[in-house]
A and B are shown apart, each in its own frame.
Chain A
Amino acid sequence: MDMIDWAITVAKALVVFLVLFQVAPIMAWVERRGSALMQNRLGPNRVGPLGLLQSLPDGIKFLFKEDLVPQHVNKFYFLLAPIVTLVPAFMTFAAIPFGSSIDLGDRVIHFQVADLNVGLLYVFSIASLGVYGIIMAGWSSNNKYALLGSLRSSAQMISYELSMGLSIVGILMIFSSVKLGDIARMQGETLLQLGPLAIPKWGIFVQPLGFLIFLTATYAETNRLPFDLPEGESEIVAGYHLEYGAMKFALFMMAEYVNMTTASGMVATLYFGGWQLLPGMGWVLTQLPLEGLQLEWARVGFEILSFFLKVAFLMWLYVWVRWTLPRFRYDQLMDLGWKVMLPLSLVNIFVTGVLIYYGVI
């Protein structure tokens, strides 16, 4: 690797980091406006056009509030917990491809921070680190509600990680690669040709059951409704971040939103073709009066836009589902995880194996 390659890698990492950093304020606005509209209210609409700048004063408020550390906490772990929660959240996105590659003649740029050969496994291993921060926060707070919240969170994450991991085995069997770049590229192939309509080999079409299980499991993994028992406002006040205030609380919120983005990115990459162009975009691309390298750049731009739109829709789905489904009871949550999702994901693997053996997929 020469200096320019290093510079390109650093630039990619920086851009991804900065974009992820903007997710929290924007999602906070989307969540507040979205939930308000669904409840027939208007939501914050005073600061800036449509209230878009609302997160700015909120952020300033978080920064300038008193940084309180209660006396009864274990100070070292109490201060460490938000960092331990936030860092893995940012790390996971590195392996997700947000565009294909572009050939500049003397070098090829891949639009992915790190094309690891263990891509998928890396994402899963780092994502499961996030639970340590939550356990640390709950335990070091020395508070019964906080401890209950973190216990719930760890139990929930362990039971849902199982079916989550098994649900993507089907994808691995079909595309026979764990490199996320490969998986995204292979989803560009055509699965079925129905007259003029070509159905691409997106994960959702070859693995509908696996998609449902994976999507449900990501909701449990990111502690979002209907699986937000670790927070459970009406039962255990605020759960694991009960004793946190000011910027430390904001870090937990940010970690939650970044985790949501990563989970949406994973769903988009595995089941919605990642950076594969959305229907209609390929046609638009052929109509543009561009040639050679310019066309290549336009293609990459459309690919990044496609990926962005897919992730944005899945993020919106989080908000949408939040105000549609009520919270599960704890035993129902465990029932769903162990008695429904785990057997179903095993069945999914079996059926996929049979279909592959008979050459259907």
Chain B
Amino acid sequence: MLIQSKKSFLQRFYVVEVLKGLMITMRNMLFTKKVTIQYPEQRREYSQRYRGMHYIKATNGVENCTACMLCPTICPAECIHIEAGERPDKEKYPVRFEIDVLRCCFCGMCEEACPKDAIKLSTIYEMSQESREVYTKDYLLEQRGSK
């Protein structure tokens, strides 16, 4: 439906209205705060609950993981691969713990499923790589967050 607003005689010449419009753009240009984040120097602040790169939490240098296989079971993208093994003291531990981050959808279900608070998602979001890599256990054991 075409809605036509009533315009006064002066408004129908548009000259004054156009000048008003020009003033609005000029005011925006000169006085409004610019919203650009200049990326490498400035960074956007993310929430602490942000789900970024994974890591395996360790206590006293030993990973919390007991290779219970809950996280690869719940993982909808099937990107976690664990090979379980036994320590000399009969405790179960992951011999291999690999995450194919290319398949990961960062849903955070692994973090929720984990009974030992071992697998965690940090707030790191810069994950570009030069080659397609599967993250190994050594890589994941670097403590990347405080969660």
Q: What range describes how many residues of B lie at the interface?
A: 10 to 19
A38 x B25 contact (CB < 8 A) = yes
A40 x B15 contact (CB < 8 A) = no
A39 to B21 Cα, complex, angstroms: 14
A323 x B25 contact (CB < 8 A) = yes
Task: Assess A324 versus B18: contact at CB under 8 Å? Given A34-B29, A38-B25, A38-B28.
Answer: yes
A50 to B72 Cα, complex, angstroms: 51
A42 x B38 contact (CB < 8 A) = yes
B6 interfacial by beta-carbon distance below 8 Å:
no
A320 x B26 contact (CB < 8 A) = yes
B34 x A325 contact (CB < 8 A) = no
B24 interfacial by beta-carbon distance below 8 Å:
yes
A40 x B33 contact (CB < 8 A) = yes
B22 interfacial by beta-carbon distance below 8 Å:
yes
Choose from A37, A212, A325 the contact partner of B21 (Cβ within 8 Å).
A325
A41 x B22 contact (CB < 8 A) = no
CB-CB under 8 A from B33, the residues of chain A are 40
Q: Mark B64-105, 1 if CB is under 8 A from A, else 0.
A: 000000000000000000000000000000000000000000
A324 x B35 contact (CB < 8 A) = no
Main secondary structure of the interface of B (DSSP, over half): helix
A11 to B22 Cα, complex, angstroms: 40
A325 to B33 Cα, complex, angstroms: 22
A235 to B: closest C-beta gap in Å: 19
A320 to B35 Cα, complex, angstroms: 20
B144 to A: closest C-beta gap in Å: 30
B42 to A: closest C-beta gap in Å: 11
CB-CB under 8 A from B32, the residues of chain A are 40
A320 to B30 Cα, complex, angstroms: 13
A320 x B25 contact (CB < 8 A) = yes
A300 to B65 Cα, complex, angstroms: 83
B38 to A: closest C-beta gap in Å: 7
A321 to B18 Cα, complex, angstroms: 9
A37 x B34 contact (CB < 8 A) = yes
A42 to B35 Cα, complex, angstroms: 8
**Which residues of chain B from 1 to 39 have any CB-CB distance to chain A below 8 Å in the complex?**
15, 18, 21-22, 24-26, 28-29, 32-36, 38
CB-CB under 8 A from A325, the residues of chain B are 18, 21
Which B residues fall within an 8 A CB radius of A? 15, 18, 21-22, 24-26, 28-29, 32-36, 38
